[in-house]
Amino acid sequence: MIGRAIAVVVALALLTAAGGAALGPGGRAKQTVTLLASKGPRPAGEPGAEAVAQRFVAAELEKLGYRVVLQRVDLPNGRSTRNVVGLSSGRPKVVIVAHLDGVRGSPAANDNASGVAVLLELAASLRSTPGVLVAATGGEERVVTGSRVHLGSLRLVRGISPQARRGVRLAVTLDMVGVGTRLHVRGIERQPNRSARLLLDRDGSTYLRDDGDSDHAELTRNGLPAAWLEWRTDACWHESCDVARRVDARRLEAAFHVVLDAAFLALKS
Ligand SMILES: [Zn+2]
Protein backbone atom coordinates (compact mmCIF):
# COMPACT_ATOMS: atom_id res chain seq x y z
CA MET A 1 0.00 0.00 0.00
CA ILE A 2 2.76 2.41 0.99
CA GLY A 3 4.66 1.36 -2.12
CA ARG A 4 1.69 2.23 -4.27
CA ALA A 5 1.25 5.63 -2.54
CA ILE A 6 4.89 6.46 -3.20
CA ALA A 7 4.46 5.41 -6.83
CA VAL A 8 1.49 7.78 -7.15
CA VAL A 9 3.46 10.66 -5.59
CA VAL A 10 6.39 10.02 -7.95
CA ALA A 11 4.04 9.85 -10.93
CA LEU A 12 2.44 13.16 -9.93
CA ALA A 13 5.85 14.79 -9.52
CA LEU A 14 6.87 13.63 -12.99
CA LEU A 15 3.62 14.96 -14.44
CA THR A 16 4.21 18.34 -12.79
CA ALA A 17 7.75 18.45 -14.15
CA ALA A 18 6.40 17.83 -17.63
CA GLY A 19 3.89 20.68 -17.27
CA GLY A 20 4.67 24.37 -17.64
CA ALA A 21 4.98 25.66 -14.11
CA ALA A 22 7.76 23.36 -12.95
CA LEU A 23 9.97 23.79 -16.02
CA GLY A 24 13.36 25.39 -15.47
CA PRO A 25 15.04 27.84 -17.85
CA GLY A 26 16.19 25.04 -20.18
CA GLY A 27 12.72 23.51 -20.45
CA ARG A 28 11.07 26.87 -21.03
CA ALA A 29 13.72 27.78 -23.63
CA LYS A 30 13.02 24.50 -25.41
CA GLN A 31 9.33 25.44 -25.57
CA THR A 32 10.31 28.79 -27.12
CA VAL A 33 12.52 27.02 -29.67
CA THR A 34 9.59 24.79 -30.63
CA LEU A 35 7.31 27.81 -31.01
CA LEU A 36 9.75 29.83 -33.13
CA ALA A 37 10.69 26.90 -35.35
CA SER A 38 7.00 26.05 -35.92
CA LYS A 39 6.51 29.34 -37.81
CA GLY A 40 8.76 28.23 -40.68
CA PRO A 41 12.06 29.58 -42.06
CA ARG A 42 13.08 33.12 -41.08
CA PRO A 43 15.27 34.49 -43.88
CA ALA A 44 16.19 38.14 -43.30
CA GLY A 45 13.82 40.70 -44.79
CA GLU A 46 11.28 38.24 -46.17
CA PRO A 47 7.67 38.56 -45.06
CA GLY A 48 6.29 35.94 -42.70
CA ALA A 49 7.97 34.03 -39.92
CA GLU A 50 10.84 36.47 -39.29
CA ALA A 51 8.48 39.37 -38.61
CA VAL A 52 6.23 37.15 -36.48
CA ALA A 53 9.22 36.12 -34.39
CA GLN A 54 10.37 39.74 -34.03
CA ARG A 55 6.94 40.77 -32.73
CA PHE A 56 6.96 37.83 -30.30
CA VAL A 57 10.37 38.79 -28.88
CA ALA A 58 9.41 42.47 -28.61
CA ALA A 59 6.21 41.58 -26.73
CA GLU A 60 8.07 39.23 -24.35
CA LEU A 61 10.68 41.89 -23.55
CA GLU A 62 8.00 44.51 -22.98
CA LYS A 63 6.19 42.15 -20.60
CA LEU A 64 9.44 41.77 -18.67
CA GLY A 65 9.68 45.54 -18.26
CA TYR A 66 12.38 46.33 -20.82
CA ARG A 67 12.23 49.45 -22.97
CA VAL A 68 12.04 48.01 -26.47
CA VAL A 69 13.71 49.72 -29.42
CA LEU A 70 13.36 48.46 -33.01
CA GLN A 71 16.40 49.22 -35.15
CA ARG A 72 16.00 49.12 -38.91
CA VAL A 73 18.70 47.10 -40.66
CA ASP A 74 19.03 47.73 -44.41
CA LEU A 75 19.86 44.72 -46.59
CA PRO A 76 21.86 44.69 -49.85
CA ASN A 77 18.77 43.57 -51.84
CA GLY A 78 16.93 46.78 -50.96
CA ARG A 79 14.76 45.19 -48.29
CA SER A 80 15.22 45.68 -44.58
CA THR A 81 14.95 43.75 -41.35
CA ARG A 82 15.10 44.78 -37.69
CA ASN A 83 17.00 44.35 -34.49
CA VAL A 84 14.72 43.98 -31.47
CA VAL A 85 16.58 45.61 -28.58
CA GLY A 86 15.55 45.55 -24.91
CA LEU A 87 17.07 48.02 -22.47
CA SER A 88 16.93 48.16 -18.70
CA SER A 89 17.78 51.41 -16.91
CA GLY A 90 21.24 52.97 -16.96
CA ARG A 91 24.22 52.60 -19.29
CA PRO A 92 24.68 49.01 -20.51
CA LYS A 93 27.33 46.98 -18.69
CA VAL A 94 26.10 43.66 -20.09
CA VAL A 95 25.22 43.17 -23.78
CA ILE A 96 23.61 39.84 -24.79
CA VAL A 97 22.93 39.13 -28.46
CA ALA A 98 21.27 36.31 -30.42
CA HIS A 99 20.37 36.44 -34.10
CA LEU A 100 16.77 35.74 -34.90
CA ASP A 101 17.03 35.25 -38.66
CA GLY A 102 17.75 31.89 -40.29
CA VAL A 103 18.65 30.40 -43.65
CA ARG A 104 16.10 29.47 -46.33
CA GLY A 105 14.61 25.99 -46.27
CA SER A 106 15.32 25.36 -42.59
CA PRO A 107 13.22 25.83 -39.45
CA ALA A 108 16.47 27.17 -37.95
CA ALA A 109 15.81 25.66 -34.54
CA ASN A 110 19.37 25.35 -33.29
CA ASP A 111 20.62 28.13 -35.61
CA ASN A 112 19.34 30.21 -33.98
CA ALA A 113 15.96 29.90 -32.26
CA SER A 114 18.06 28.28 -29.51
CA GLY A 115 20.03 31.47 -28.90
CA VAL A 116 16.93 33.67 -28.95
CA ALA A 117 15.16 31.35 -26.51
CA VAL A 118 18.06 31.43 -24.02
CA LEU A 119 18.30 35.22 -24.52
CA LEU A 120 14.68 35.55 -23.37
CA GLU A 121 15.34 33.39 -20.29
CA LEU A 122 18.33 35.58 -19.42
CA ALA A 123 16.23 38.70 -19.96
CA ALA A 124 13.71 37.28 -17.48
CA SER A 125 16.38 36.53 -14.88
CA LEU A 126 17.97 39.98 -15.29
CA ARG A 127 14.71 41.94 -15.37
CA SER A 128 14.78 45.12 -13.27
CA THR A 129 18.58 44.90 -13.17
CA PRO A 130 20.17 48.18 -14.33
CA GLY A 131 22.79 48.08 -17.08
CA VAL A 132 21.41 45.30 -19.31
CA LEU A 133 20.99 45.39 -23.09
CA VAL A 134 19.57 42.34 -24.88
CA ALA A 135 19.19 42.19 -28.66
CA ALA A 136 17.63 39.74 -31.10
CA THR A 137 19.50 40.77 -34.22
CA GLY A 138 18.44 40.50 -37.85
CA GLY A 139 20.51 39.88 -40.97
CA GLU A 140 23.16 37.65 -39.41
CA GLU A 141 23.06 34.92 -42.05
CA ARG A 142 25.46 36.13 -44.74
CA VAL A 143 24.43 33.31 -47.08
CA VAL A 144 20.99 35.00 -47.15
CA THR A 145 21.95 38.70 -47.10
CA GLY A 146 24.96 38.38 -49.41
CA SER A 147 26.87 40.77 -47.16
CA ARG A 148 30.42 40.12 -45.96
CA VAL A 149 29.46 41.29 -42.47
CA HIS A 150 26.77 40.47 -39.95
CA LEU A 151 24.50 43.42 -40.62
CA GLY A 152 22.32 43.39 -37.49
CA SER A 153 25.19 43.41 -35.03
CA LEU A 154 26.96 46.11 -37.05
CA ARG A 155 23.82 48.26 -36.76
CA LEU A 156 23.61 47.46 -33.05
CA VAL A 157 27.18 48.45 -32.19
CA ARG A 158 26.94 51.64 -34.26
CA GLY A 159 23.96 52.60 -32.11
CA ILE A 160 26.10 52.50 -28.96
CA SER A 161 28.35 55.55 -28.53
CA PRO A 162 32.12 54.94 -28.31
CA GLN A 163 32.02 56.17 -24.72
CA ALA A 164 29.19 53.77 -23.82
CA ARG A 165 31.01 50.89 -25.56
CA ARG A 166 33.93 51.40 -23.16
CA GLY A 167 31.56 50.95 -20.22
CA VAL A 168 30.43 47.47 -21.32
CA ARG A 169 31.99 44.70 -19.20
CA LEU A 170 30.47 41.68 -20.95
CA ALA A 171 29.32 41.29 -24.55
CA VAL A 172 28.20 37.83 -25.62
CA THR A 173 26.52 36.24 -28.62
CA LEU A 174 24.41 33.10 -28.18
CA ASP A 175 24.46 31.24 -31.49
CA MET A 176 23.66 27.51 -31.72
CA VAL A 177 23.35 26.58 -28.07
CA GLY A 178 21.13 23.49 -28.23
CA VAL A 179 22.97 20.72 -30.12
CA GLY A 180 26.46 19.24 -29.79
CA THR A 181 28.89 17.66 -27.37
CA ARG A 182 31.28 20.50 -26.51
CA LEU A 183 30.48 23.94 -25.14
CA HIS A 184 32.87 26.53 -26.52
CA VAL A 185 33.53 30.15 -25.75
CA ARG A 186 34.71 31.59 -29.04
CA GLY A 187 36.38 34.79 -30.15
CA ILE A 188 38.32 36.28 -33.05
CA GLU A 189 41.38 36.91 -30.88
CA ARG A 190 44.21 34.48 -30.25
CA GLN A 191 43.66 34.79 -26.51
CA PRO A 192 40.28 35.11 -24.74
CA ASN A 193 39.20 38.75 -24.43
CA ARG A 194 37.57 40.22 -21.32
CA SER A 195 34.11 38.91 -22.19
CA ALA A 196 35.44 35.44 -22.99
CA ARG A 197 37.37 35.33 -19.71
CA LEU A 198 34.19 36.07 -17.73
CA LEU A 199 32.38 33.27 -19.56
CA LEU A 200 35.26 30.86 -19.04
CA ASP A 201 35.23 31.51 -15.31
CA ARG A 202 33.00 28.45 -14.96
CA ASP A 203 34.24 24.93 -15.54
CA GLY A 204 32.99 22.97 -18.51
CA SER A 205 33.69 25.22 -21.47
CA THR A 206 36.86 25.77 -23.48
CA TYR A 207 38.11 28.62 -25.66
CA LEU A 208 38.10 28.15 -29.43
CA ARG A 209 39.24 30.87 -31.82
CA ASP A 210 37.10 31.51 -34.88
CA ASP A 211 37.30 33.60 -38.05
CA GLY A 212 34.39 35.83 -37.12
CA ASP A 213 31.50 33.56 -37.96
CA SER A 214 28.83 35.16 -35.80
CA ASP A 215 27.62 38.53 -34.47
CA HIS A 216 30.47 38.83 -31.95
CA ALA A 217 32.85 39.64 -34.84
CA GLU A 218 31.20 42.98 -35.68
CA LEU A 219 30.98 43.92 -32.00
CA THR A 220 34.66 43.12 -31.39
CA ARG A 221 35.84 44.89 -34.54
CA ASN A 222 33.94 48.01 -33.49
CA GLY A 223 35.28 48.44 -30.00
CA LEU A 224 33.07 46.11 -28.00
CA PRO A 225 35.18 43.00 -27.23
CA ALA A 226 32.67 40.17 -27.49
CA ALA A 227 32.59 36.38 -27.28
CA TRP A 228 30.40 33.74 -28.86
CA LEU A 229 28.95 30.85 -26.88
CA GLU A 230 28.30 27.74 -28.99
CA TRP A 231 27.71 24.02 -28.51
CA ARG A 232 29.46 22.06 -31.28
CA THR A 233 29.10 20.32 -33.66
CA ASP A 234 25.67 20.30 -35.31
CA ALA A 235 25.45 18.01 -38.35
CA CYS A 236 22.19 19.74 -39.38
CA TRP A 237 23.69 23.25 -39.51
CA HIS A 238 21.88 25.24 -42.24
CA GLU A 239 19.94 22.12 -43.27
CA SER A 240 16.23 21.29 -43.30
CA CYS A 241 16.90 18.82 -40.47
CA ASP A 242 17.66 21.69 -38.03
CA VAL A 243 14.38 20.96 -36.22
CA ALA A 244 13.23 21.72 -32.68
CA ARG A 245 13.12 18.13 -31.43
CA ARG A 246 16.91 17.87 -31.81
CA VAL A 247 17.45 20.84 -29.49
CA ASP A 248 18.27 19.69 -25.97
CA ALA A 249 16.87 21.51 -22.93
CA ARG A 250 19.90 20.58 -20.80
CA ARG A 251 22.28 22.17 -23.27
CA LEU A 252 20.13 25.29 -23.40
CA GLU A 253 20.17 25.39 -19.62
CA ALA A 254 23.97 25.00 -19.47
CA ALA A 255 24.39 27.95 -21.84
CA PHE A 256 21.92 29.95 -19.78
CA HIS A 257 23.90 29.41 -16.57
CA VAL A 258 27.26 30.23 -18.15
CA VAL A 259 25.98 33.59 -19.39
CA LEU A 260 23.97 34.40 -16.24
CA ASP A 261 26.98 33.80 -13.98
CA ALA A 262 29.19 35.93 -16.25
CA ALA A 263 26.54 38.68 -16.28
CA PHE A 264 26.43 38.78 -12.48
CA LEU A 265 30.24 39.01 -12.37
CA ALA A 266 30.18 41.82 -14.94
CA LEU A 267 27.43 43.75 -13.18
CA LYS A 268 29.35 43.60 -9.89
CA SER A 269 32.58 44.93 -11.41
ZN1 LIG B 1 23.80 31.29 -36.41
Mean per-residue pLDDT pooled into runs of 10, the chain (269 residues): 47 47 91 98 97 98 98 98 98 98 98 98 97 98 97 98 96 98 97 97 86 98 97 98 98 98 95
What confidence score (pLDDT) does residue 22 get?
77
CA 237–ligand 1 middle distance (angstroms): 9
Ligand 1 centre to CA of 74 (Å) is: 19
What pLDDT does 10 receive? 46
Superfamily for the 2-268 domain: Zn peptidases (3.40.630.10)
How many whole angstroms separate alpha carbon 165 and alpha carbon 223? 7
213 CA to middle of ligand 1, Å?
A: 8
Provide the pLDDT for residue 202: 73
Phi-psi region of 48 (alpha: psi -120 to 50; beta: other; left: phi over 0): left
Measured in angstroms, how far is the CA atom of residue 100 from the centroid of ligand 1? Answer: 8
Do residues 100 and 136 make contact, with C-beta atoms less than 8 angstroms apart? yes
What's the CA-to-centroid distance between 84 and ligand 1, angstroms?
16
User: 126 CA to middle of ligand 1, Å?
Assistant: 24
* Nearest in space to 92 (alpha carbons), one of 152, 150, 163: 163
110 C-alpha vs ligand 1 centroid, how far in Å? Answer: 8
In this structure, are residues 70 and 130 in contact, taking their beta carbons and an 8 Å threshold?
A: no
pLDDT of residue 204: 76
| Å from CA of 176 to ligand 1 middle | 6
